[in-house]
Structure 1
C-alpha cells in the first residue's frame, strides 16, 4: 500500500474539491473571453491589461497542473496515465516553449486549445469526445465507401450531363463537387428540373443518389457514432468500479469486464420481465 505525504494528501483533497474545479472553470471561461477581446483592433490602453491577464492565466494553470501532479505523491507518473491529463499538460506547457513567443499563429492556436480543457470537467462532453475517437475506424470505412459511391455517381453524371451542363458535370472533379453539394439537398429541385428538361430518365439518377448517399449511407454513419457513444458511456459508467490492482486507477480490461457483466445483467432483467409478463397473462386467462 502506498503512503502519501501530508502535502500529497492536501493536494489530492484540493484537486478533488468542487470549489477548485469551479475556480478552474471560471478561469478557463475568462481566458476564452480575453481571447475573443484580443481579436478586436485598436485596443489602446487595454493591451497591457490583456497581457497581464494572459500571464495571470498561465500562473493559475501551471499551479493547477502542479497541484494535480503533487496529488499523486511518490507516483507523479500516474498523472500521465490519463489522456485528458496529458492533453492539459501539453497545452499548458506549450506556451513556455522558446519558439512560441510574440504574436505567432502557433501560439494563438495553443492558447485557443486551452479553452478545450472545459471538456474535461463535463462527463457528458467527455463521453461525446470519447465516442468520436472510438468511431474513427468505423468512420474511416464509411468515408471510403462514400467516396467510392460518389465517384461512381460522378462518372455516371459526367457521362450523362457533361455535354449539356459542363459547369456542373464537365469533369469528374466538377461532378463530385456538384454531388457533394447535393448532400444538403438544397439544390436538388434545380438539378432535377434541369435533368428532366434533358430527359425524364435522369430522375432515376437523382432519386437513386439521394436514397443511397443521403438516406442509406448517412444513416450508417449515424449508427456507427451512436454505437461508439454507447460504448463510451458504458466505460464512463464503469470507470470508478473496475480497479482490480487496487491502485485507484481503473484498468481497461476490468472496465470492459464490468461493462459485459452489466450487459448480461440487462439481458437477464429483460428475460425475467418477459417471463413475468407471460405469467401475468396466463393468470388473467
Structure 2
C-alpha cells in the first residue's frame, strides 16, 4: 500500500493535477478582486476554496504516509517544509477583523507553483545561493552611491535642490539614475548651469549600471550553472542508487529461485 502511495505522489499526472488546483486557486483569488464577477458567487467561491484546501491537506498526508515511518525524510526537503507551512497557515481560521489577513494568506497557495515546477525551483534555489555572493557587490554599490551622493550634493545642491538638496534625496536620485528612469531630465537641469555636469552623470551610469548591475547578473548566471551541475550530479547518484537497488532485487529473486530448486531436488 505504501509503495502504491509513493508511486502516486511521484506520478506525473498527480503533479499536473496539483498544478491545476494551484492555478485554479490563483484564478479564484483574482475573481474575488472583481465585484462584478464575484457578486452573488461568494458562497461557491468559498466552497471551492475549502475543496482546494482539502486537496492540499490530502496531498500532504499522502506524502507523509509515503515517507513513513521515517517522517523526517519528508521534512528534510525544504520545498516540502514550504508546502506544509502554507497548508498549516491556511487551516488557521481568520474571521471578523482578521478576515482580510486570511484572504491575503491565500495568496501563499499561488506561491506553491514554485515548489511544484522544477524550473521555478531551480531559479529560486539559484537566487538564494547567490545572496551570500551578492553581499560584497552590494557593499561596493553602497560605497559608490555614498561617494556620488556626497559629490552630487556638493556640486548641485544650490542649482538643483529638488534632486540634490540633502544626502537622502541625493541617494534616491542616484537610485533613479541607476535604473535609467528619466535620468536625462535630471541631467539637463544641471547642464543648464554646469556644462561639465554630463561627466558626473555618464560616469555614474557606466560604473553603476553597466558594470555593477552586470556583476549581479554574472553572479546569478554563475550560480545557475553550479546549481544545474549539482542537480545533474544528484540525478546521476539517484539513478545509480536505483540501479543498484534493482540489481539487489533481481539477485534476491534469483537466490530465492535457486533455493526453491534445491528444496525440490531434495
How would you bin the TM-score normalised by the shorter chain? 0.7 to 0.9
Residue 21 of structure 1 pairs with residue 15 of structure 2: yes
Q: How many residues are paired up?
A: 241
Higher fraction of helix: 2
In structure 1, the residue matched to 2:71 is 76
Q: Contact conserved, 2:176 with 2:183, CA < 8 A, in 1?
A: no
**Residues 20-169 of structure 1 correspond to what in structure 2 (within 5 A)?**
20-41=14-35, 43-97=38-92, 100-101=94-95, 104-169=99-164
Deviation string, structure 1 residues 225-283 (Cα, Å, up to 9, x no partner): 1111111111222222336xx699xxxxxxxxxxxxxxxxxxxxxxxxxxxxxxxxxxx
C-alpha deviations, 1:56-115, integer Å up to 9, x for none? 0111110011111111132122101100000000001112235x4455343233211111
Stretches of structure 1 that go unaligned for 5 or more consecutive residues are 1-6, 249-285
Instruction: Supply the distance in 1 between the matched residues of 2:105 and 2:234 (Cα, whole angstroms).
Output: 29
**How many Å separate the matches in 2 of 1:101 and 1:65?**
25
Give the whole-Å Cα distance in 2 for the aligned partners of 1:227 and 1:169: 37
| Residue number among 224, 227, 238 corresponding to 1:229 in the alignment | 224
For 2:106, what is the secondary structure of its paired residue?
A: helix
Take 1:161 and 1:44, find their aligned partners in 2: how far apart are those partners? 55
| Stretch of structure 1 that moved more, 43-52 or 101-110 | 101-110
Runs of 4+ in 1 over 6 A off after TM superposition: none
Separation (CA, whole Å) in 1 of partners of 2:31 and 2:150:
49
Q: 2:191 aligns with which of 196, 201, 204?
A: 196
Provide the C-alpha distance between the structure 1 equivalents of 2:117 and 2:84, rounded to a whole number of angstroms: 18
1:177 lines up with 2:172 in the alignment: yes
Aligned equivalents of 1:66 and 1:247: distance in 2? Answer: 25
| Structure 2 unaligned blocks of 5 or more | 244-266
Describe the SS at the equivalent of 1:239. helix
What per-residue deviation string (whole Å, max 9, x for no partner) do you get for residues 182-203 of structure 1? 1132323223322222222222
Q: Is the 8 A contact 2:19 2:113 kept in 1?
A: yes
What SS is found at the alignment partner of 2:192? helix
Using a 3 Å threshold, how does the CA distance of structure 1 residues 193 and 57 change in structure 2: closer, same or farther?
same
How many Å separate the matches in 2 of 1:110 and 1:192? 44
Alpha-carbon shift at residue 54 of structure 1 (Å): 1.0
